[in-house]
């Protein structure tokens, strides 16, 4: 039964550590802001995963609460600095962020863009189904976002046209 529970397991330390890390996360996100765990870029996602890993190793006693808190604060501080630099210097933004890529223009599938993004047509079709698209003629645009998400912009009726500002910054060709 030792594989289920051992008397020497640090249960109370884990509970106390969870409370402390929870407080640290709340304080840091209040200081750094709502963007702390946003997923705007690939590195945002990587930082979020890294922070989760740090929390895990801290709570399983692989490292101390202070060490884990400093590591989390460092990563969140870096995201804050990078978000500031991206606004201040657009060249940094283009160097570290992918630009969105158009996968469908209206009912036309852009096969070269699919190939460049390494997305199969079947994966695109699955995203169309998720967006309740019943016919390719309903599609205004499909965009591979810089986060890796796929956005499907579709017509709700014949009176609404796509505002081209919604495609600002989207690459038409790889």
**Any idea what the CATH number is for the domain that residue 111 is in?**
3.30.240.20
Same domain as 82, residue 32 = yes
Same domain as 133, residue 147 = yes
Q: Does residue 153 sit in helix, strand or coil?
A: strand
What is the structure's pLDDT at 1?
66
Domain boundary among 74, 95, 116: 95
Whether residue 17 contacts residue 65, with contact meaning beta carbons closer than 8 Å, is answered with yes
Mean pLDDT of the chain: 86
Same domain as 90, residue 17 = yes
Tell the residue number behind the tokens 């996602």, with chain if given.
Answer: 45
Same domain as 19, residue 90 = yes
Spatial distance between the Cα atoms of 151 and 102, rounded to a whole number of angstroms: 10
Higher pLDDT pick, 63 / 143: 143
Whether residue 57 contacts residue 63, with contact meaning beta carbons closer than 8 Å, is answered with yes
In the chain, alpha helices (H):
11-32, 42-59, 65-88, 90-96, 111-117, 121-130
**Degrees, nearest 5: CA angle 108-112-118:** 110
In this predicted structure, the answer to whether residue 8 has a pLDDT above a threshold of 90 is no
Same domain as 89, residue 116 = no
Nearest CA to 140 out of 161, 169, 120, 123 is that of: 161
pTM over 0.75: no
Domain boundary among 58, 78, 95: 95
Flag the least confident range among 32-36, 106-110, 125-129.
32-36
pLDDT band at 45 (very low <50, low <70, confident <90, very high): confident
Express each pLDDT in 86-121 by its tens digit.
888 878 777 777 789 999 998 999 999 999 999 999
Same domain as 85, residue 22 = yes
Same domain as 25, residue 84 = yes
Same domain as 127, residue 75 = no
- The winner for highest mean pLDDT among 8-17, 76-85, 123-132 is 123-132
Domain boundary among 73, 95, 117: 95
Higher pLDDT pick, 108 / 155: 108
Domain for residue 4, yes or no?
A: no
Spatial distance between the Cα atoms of 73 and 37, rounded to a whole number of angstroms: 13
Same domain as 91, residue 62 = yes
Spatial distance between the Cα atoms of 142 and 124, rounded to a whole number of angstroms: 9
Spatial distance between the Cα atoms of 121 and 138, rounded to a whole number of angstroms: 17
In this predicted structure, the answer to whether residue 143 has a pLDDT above a threshold of 70 is yes
Residue 140's domain spans which residues?
Answer: 99-167
């Amino acid at each position: 039964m030792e594989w289920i529970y051992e008397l020497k397991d640090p249960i109370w330390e884990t509970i106390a550590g969870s409370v402390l890390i929870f407080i640290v996360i709340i304080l840091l996100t209040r200081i750094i802001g709502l963007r702390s765990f946003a997923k705007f870029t690939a590195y945002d996602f990587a930082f979020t995963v890294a922070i989760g890993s740090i929390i895990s190793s801290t709570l399983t006693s692989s490292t101390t609460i202070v060490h884990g808190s400093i590591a989390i604060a460092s990563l969140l501080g870096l995201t804050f600095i990078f978000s500031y630099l991206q606004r201040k210097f657009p060249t940094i933004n283009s160097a570290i962020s992918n630009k969105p890529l158009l996968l469908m223009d209206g009912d036309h599938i852009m096969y070269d863009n699919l190939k460049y993004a390494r997305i199969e047509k079947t994966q695109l079709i699955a995203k169309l189904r998720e967006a309740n698209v019943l016919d390719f003629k309903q599609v205004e645009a499909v965009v591979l976002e810089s986060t890796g998400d796929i956005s499907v912009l579709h017509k709700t009726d014949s009176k609404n046209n796509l505002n081209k500002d919604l495609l600002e910054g989207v690459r038409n060709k790889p």
